[in-house]
Structure 1
Amino acid sequence: MSFTAAASGLVVFLLSVQVIQGQSGWGVTYTSTEICAVTGSTVVMSCSYRYPSSRTYYVERTFWFTKEKDGEPVDLRSDSQYAGRVQYSDSNNFCTLRIRDVRESDSADYKFSIITTHPGGSFTGSPGVTLSVTDLQVQVSRSGNWVHLKCHSSCVLRDGRYLWYKNGQKIQSETSSSYYYSYYYYSVNFNAPDDYSCAVRGNENRRSPSVYGPKLPSVSVSPSAEIEEGRSVTLSCSSDANPAANYTWYKENGNLKPLSEDPQLVFSSLRSSDSGQYQCTVYNKLGMKTSKSISIDVKYGPKLPSVSVSPSAEIEEGSSVTLSCSSDANPAANYTWYKEDEDSPKESGQNFTITDFRSEHSGNYCCVAQNSRGRRDSTLQLTVGAGNSRITMTIIRSTLVVLLLIYVILLNLWTRKKKALSSTTEAHDPVEIELDSCPEYENVSDTAAQTEDTEEQEDLV
C-alpha cells in the first residue's frame, strides 16, 4: 500500500492491478480495490465503466454507495454521514469519487452503480473498493532515561514526511517518523508533563492524539460518610495519562510494600489499625506522579481498658493512691470510676486519686470507658493493711531487742552473783580445814594474830 500527496491536501490511494467487474457488455473497472487512509486525509477512488452500446439506450445516472435501504443502494450524496464531504466526477465513462476529511467511520466497501434506460438496465461493480481509515498513533518505548516516540499508522506513507509537536509547538528539526528525547524519570513528578503529537506533512491539522505522562492524580473515598470498624471502604485514584497509567497504593509511615496495584484500594472489613494516611502513585513510560494524601479515620468502640494503681508497692494507711485507666477508642473514650456495691460514680476521668487511704477504702474499683460506639469496663482490687503489718513488724522487732537486752542483763547479773557466791565459799573453807585437819593453817593463824597485835600496839604508841 502506498500514498501520493496533492496540493489540496493529502490524497491517498492504493496502486494495484486493475480489476474488471462485468457481464454481457456491462462492466466496472476499479483502479484499486483496497485503500488505506489516515484520518483527516482526502481519498480518491477512480474507475471506468461500460454498458451495452445502443443509440436508443443511454445512462440516466451514476453514483457511489456503501449502504442499501429496502434493497436499493443509497447514494453517498444523500447520506448524512458524508454531507459536504463527497464529490463525483463522471466523464467519458470515467468515474471518480473524492472524500475529504475521512474518518474512521468511513471505513467500508464502496461500489459504483450505473443506471441506464436499457430494460433491466442497471449494474453495480462488485465487490468494489475497500477503504480502511486509521488514525495516527504515537507509540512509546523506553530504555533507561531515553524515550522513543514513533508516529505510526497501519497505512504506509510513501515518501511521507512527518511533523512533531511538543506542548502544541512544532519541533522544527524533526521530520522523521521517530523522535527521541531523554529526562530523569522521577523529575517529572515535580514538573508539568510534556505532551507530544505528530502529523503528516500536507495534513498538519489532523494530528495524532497526544501522548503525555500522568497528571496529578485525584483520590476519593467511598462512602464519604463516617467510617466505622468492620465496614467496607473503597479508595479510588484517577489520573489523565496517555498511554494509560499504572497505579500503586501505599500507606504513609508504613512499609514500602504496595497495598494494591489497581486504581482502587478496597477494604472489605475495616480494622482500627487501618486508620491513617494513604497515597496513590501513577506512572507510565513518560512520567510519574503521586497524589495528595487521603485519610481514613476508623471509628470504633473502646477496647478492654487497662487499669493500674500508683504507687504499685504496698499501700500504707494514710497514704495517697492514684488509680489510672486507659482504653484505645475512636472517638476518645470518657472514663468513669465506680466502687463495688455503690451506684454513684466516685470520679470522672482517667485518673482517680484517694489522698488519705483508709481501711474503708478497700474494695473493688471499676473503670468504665465509653464513647458513641460502645462501652467496656475493667476492675481493680485495693486492700489496706500493708501499713499496719509494717508497724506490727517494727513493734515485734523492738520487743525482741528489748527482751534480748533484758536477757543479757539478767544473764550478766546471774553470772556475777554466781562468781560472788563462789568467792565467799572459798574464803570460809580453809578455816574449817584449819580447825579440823590442817595444822599448817594454825601456824598461819597464830602468825596473823600476832601481826595484828603488833600493829595495834604501834597504833597506841
Structure 2
Amino acid sequence: MALLLPLLVVFVAFASLTEGVGLLPDGLNAAVGETVMFTTTLTPTEKPFQSVNWSFNFSTAIIIVMNSENIIGPEYEGRITFFTSTASLELRSLTLDDTGEYAVNIIQDGKPHSGRATLVIYEKVSSVSVTSSSTDLVEFSGSVSLSCSASGSSLSFLWLNGSSEVTASDRVQLTDGGSSLTIITVTRSDQGPFRCRVSNPVSTGTSDPVNLSISYGPENINLILSPSQGCFAVGSDISLTCSVGSRPPAQFNWFLNGDQLLDTGSELRLMNVQMSQSGNYSCQAFNSKTLRSQTSQPSTITVLEKISAASVKPSTNLPVEGTSVNLTCEASGSVFTRNWMKDGSDLTPTDNMILSDNNRVLTFDTVNRKDNGEYFCQISNPVSSDGAKYIMIVNYGPENVQIKGPNEINIKDTLKLTCSAESTPSARFTWFLNGTEILNNSAEYIKEEVEFSDSANYTCQAWNNITERTSSSVVHELTVTDQPSGCAAGCIAGILITCCVIFTAAVGGGYYIYKKKFNKNPQKQNTEQEENMYENISITRK
C-alpha cells in the first residue's frame, strides 16, 4: 500500500502523455445507493494486461493492477469489482461524493490506452406534494397559487391539468424554477385535477391530484314548455321546465306577467288550468356562490274555452225577397275565427252581401231568390272548433200569373180552368166572373154542364200570405157555343180515314185471291182482273 501513491503519480503522468478516445462512455448518471458500471470498449482477452490504473478526479487511486497484483484504495474497499478481461470497473453503494471524473490507464502489449468518464450522482425524487392557496373560487373573479415541493437533487418541475401540460400565458405564471403555479382570473377550465411532476436524470415523482372548485353561472338559461303549443283548453295539464348552466346548482323562481309565484324548483306544473292562468311565464335562476342571476325569455300560455253550442240565427225566420236579412253566427267559448260556406263551398260574397264584426254577421242588403241554399258557419280557436248551418228559403211572388183552359166550349160540357204563379210559398188564388168573386183559395175553377150564361171573362188573382203581396189580375175570355148534334168536323175526318183504310185492305185481299185462283192461265187471269177492277170502281161510284 505504501507504493500506491507513487504508482498513482507515475500513471497520472503516463496518462497525460496518452489520449483515450472512446475507451469509456462520455457521461454516466446514477442514484445514491445504486451501482454504476464503467465498461471499456476493449475486446475481452485472456492475456492479462501489463498494468491498469483506475483513479477518481486524477488524485484518488481506486485500483492499480500491475504484474497480476491488485492494489485498492482504502475508500473503495468492498465497493468495487474489477474485470480482468476488459479492465472494466463496477462501483457500488454510491454516494453524492462519488460525483466526479473517473480515469483509466492501461498498458497492453506495450501499448498505452486511457479513457475518462464523468459520473454524476443524484438523490432520487420523493415526497412530491402540492399545496393550494384556495380550492373554492368564483369564475372570472378569483386567482389561485399552487406550490410544488419534493425531496431529491437537481429537481425540475412540470405541471399538468388533467393530461395536458400547463404552460405560461397571460393568465398563467410559473415561478421559483417552475415549482409555483399562479392562475389569474380563473375559469371553469381551471378546475383541474392539477398534478406536479418532479424529475431529475435518475427518477421521476408525481403528486396527488388537487382539484379546484370553480363556481360559475347561471348562464344559457332555457325554458321548455310541454306540450309545446302555446294554446291550451281549459282543464289541461301543463309543465314548464327551466334549465341552466350553473355550479353549484342554481335556485329557481317563477314569474307570471312579472309577478313572482310561490313555486320554486326547476319545474313548474300547472294542473287543470283555467283562463285566469293565461299569461307570460318566465323563470329566474340564482347562484348563491357567484351571486349572479339570469332570467329566461317569457313563454306565453293562452288558456281557452272549447267552442260549443254553435248556431246561425236569422234576423227573420221568413225572409222576403227585396228586404234586408242578417245571419248571425254565435257560439260559446273562446272564438277566434269564423268562416262561412254556402252549399258546401267557401262563401264568396256577392254585391248584396256584407260580412262584418269579424265575420260574425252576414248581411244581405236585399235578399233575392238566388240566395237560397244552405249556409254553414265554422267557428274555430286553436284548441277546438264547431259549426252550425241555416237553410235559407227566400219568399217571393206571386208573379207571372197564368190561366190555362179552353177559350170556347160547348154547352153542357165541363169547364176546367187552372191558375198558376211563380211564388214561394205557393200562392193562393181567387177567381172572379165579370168582376164578381166566385171562388177563393183554389188553383182550379171547375163547372159541369156550362150554360150560355157562362160565357164571360174569368179573372184569377194570386196572393202570397208571407210576402203579403197580390199579383196583377189575369183575364181569360170564355165563349159557350151550341154545335150540331151530328158529327163535328173531327168526327167526319175520322170516318173518312177509316173508309180509306178499309178500301185499301179490300183491294189488296181481292188481288191476292185472284192471283192464286188463276195462276195457271195468265191470260184468263188478266181478263178477270180487269173485270173485277171495273166492278169495284162501279160499286164505289154507287
State the structure with more CA Rg.
2
TM-score, scaled to structure 1: 0.43
The structure where helix makes up a greater share of residues is 1
The structure where strand makes up a greater share of residues is 2
TM-score, scaled to structure 2: 0.37
